[in-house]
Amino acid sequence: MMHYSNWLIDLKNRASLRNACKTSPYPAWNNRGNVVDMQNNNPQPSEKTTEQMVTTHLWKKGYKIIKKIGEGTFSDVVKTQNLKDGKFYACKTMKQTINSLEQANNLREVQAMKRLSPHANIIQLHELIFDKETGTVSLICELMEMNIYEFIQGRQTPLPDHTVKNYMYQLCKSLEHMHSCGIFHRDVKPENILIKQNVLKLGDFGSCRSVYSKPPHTEYISTRWYRAPECLLTDGYYSLKMDIWSAGCVFFEIMSLNPLFPGSNELDQVAKIHDVLGTPDQTLLQKFKKSRAMHFNFPLKKGTGISRLIPNCPAPALSLLYQMLAYDPDERIAAETALRHTYFREIRMAEKKADTLHRGSGTLDGVGSSVIQNSLEHIWRPTRLGKQLRGRHTRQTPLISHNIKHVADPLIRRNVPHYPTELPKLNMVVPGQQISFPVSTMPTFSVTHRGTLPAITSKKCQSQLAKPRDESRRAAFKTYYMPPLDRKHGGY
């Protein structure tokens, strides 16, 4: 008991010492901009000093700080202006100290942004600034207007369905691109989803991880409200499907303007998920228990369902939402499959139509330029020229798509022209002056004979050649005699 009281007194003394360090009795302490550690007497830069250092090293690189637009646990974000071209950017400055430029380039966030760029729905890295004196790293990125949280905060009326559909389609495209590049985000939430007019871009890749890395991963990685069940119930055994769960929570929040699972702690987070989706089957819980040191038993709940929380939600949107919020990550929809969902059918058709028009105009321009540049080569390749002529004809457009569809046909079959009437067009390309013959080598085609030369009459040629052949045959018959064969015993 005495030892416990001594430990408690020592704990209070250390707490009072820390408070004394925070509030110095010297009136000019805060004006100096430095806080002195009482134990090791090493000066540590305060927040104001850090901002001054950031401002100084950005000014040296040609950037002026406009205002502060965000603050996180590991970084601060400010709006900057390039002094050379006058363009505005978002500058994210890391709070941790970096020793070298090589270490700065090897940061996980920097590597991810370089690998994922360029993409229409991924924040693009413009420049990396490293200050060797202070060890500060700043990432100059493109500037967006706001994030999804700021967009829906304080809004009273729900967003139009086409706006929600447009934003969710772009979010799924960003996740599909990330996952195809071997990266998953691990912190998808409204604060990290940036928008500018009708364009959505995913940002903040400081928590991303490779899909090929072996678990267990960090347990408390994503924000609690958007954390998938496998992140809550296992010791870090999760995969890229956790991003789909977080995107589903964002999907619900955009439509309803309220968070779906606002848990106050880990246990309350699981309880709120079960209140809506119900308690999962025991077989699924047993699969989660295999990678968890502690045991858990949840009370059976049926779940209210998502449709009661958003009664005006369209049926295709509700279908996609349930597939994104599947409790089992193996049954959860993938980002690539989500893009082909019925909910995005209109956007896909509009993209396909625009892509077809773009490719059609590019194909026609390419054919015209190739005919002009390679006209001499096409003279000696009639099959290739025939294809170009057919492609330039306005009524032969179905033939082009037909040939593309059957690319695997044999070469001879593809080179055969479809219409024999097009063959004379190939002869018209060859200039007549290039094929010249001397007059002396063509006496039989003189105009004076008019095609009535007796020397090439077929009857006289046959009569002159047939006479000696007939006489030789008659002489042979006269010289040799074939005796008749006698029959022996009824046979030959």
Cα 164 to Cα 143, 198, 330, 410, 467, distances in angstroms: 22, 10, 26, 49, 99
54 Cβ neighbours under 8 A, 6+ residues apart: 65, 76, 78, 93, 136, 138
Structure tokens at 189: 């939430």
Distance CA 109, CA 205 (A): 5
Structure tokens at 339: 């893009």
168 Cβ neighbours under 8 A, 6+ residues apart: 247, 251, 254, 343, 344
DSSP state of 432: G
Binding site annotation covers 460? no
User: What is the maximal distance between C-alpha atoms in the chain?
Assistant: 152
| Burial classification of residue 310, based on how many CB atoms lie within 10 Å of its CB (0-12 exposed, 13-18 middle, 19 or more buried) | middle
The torsion angles phi and psi of 488, rounded to 5 degrees, stand at: -120, 120
Q: Are 276 and 288 in contact (CB under 8 A)?
A: no
Distance of CA 110 to the CA centre of its chain: 18
Using DSSP's 3-state secondary structure scheme, residue 380 falls into: coil
Distance CA 298, CA 459 (A): 110
The torsion angles phi and psi of 115, rounded to 5 degrees, stand at: -70, -35
Bridge partners for 491 per DSSP: 488
Q: Would you tell me how many other CB atoms lie within 10 Å of the CB of residue 167? A: 21
- Active-site residue, 187 included: yes
Distance CA 418, CA 415 (A): 9
Using DSSP's 3-state secondary structure scheme, residue 492 falls into: coil
Of 10, 85, 131, 187, which one is the catalytic site residue? 187
Residue with tokens 């905060």: 153
Structure tokens at 200: 């959505």
Structure tokens at 406: 């059957």
What strand order describes the sheet that includes 63-71?
Answer: 63-71, 75-82, 88-94, 136-142, 125-131
Q: Which of 329, 337, 331 is nearest to 175 (CA)?
A: 337
What residues are designated binding site for ATP? 92
The catalytic residue positions are 187
What residues are designated binding site? 92
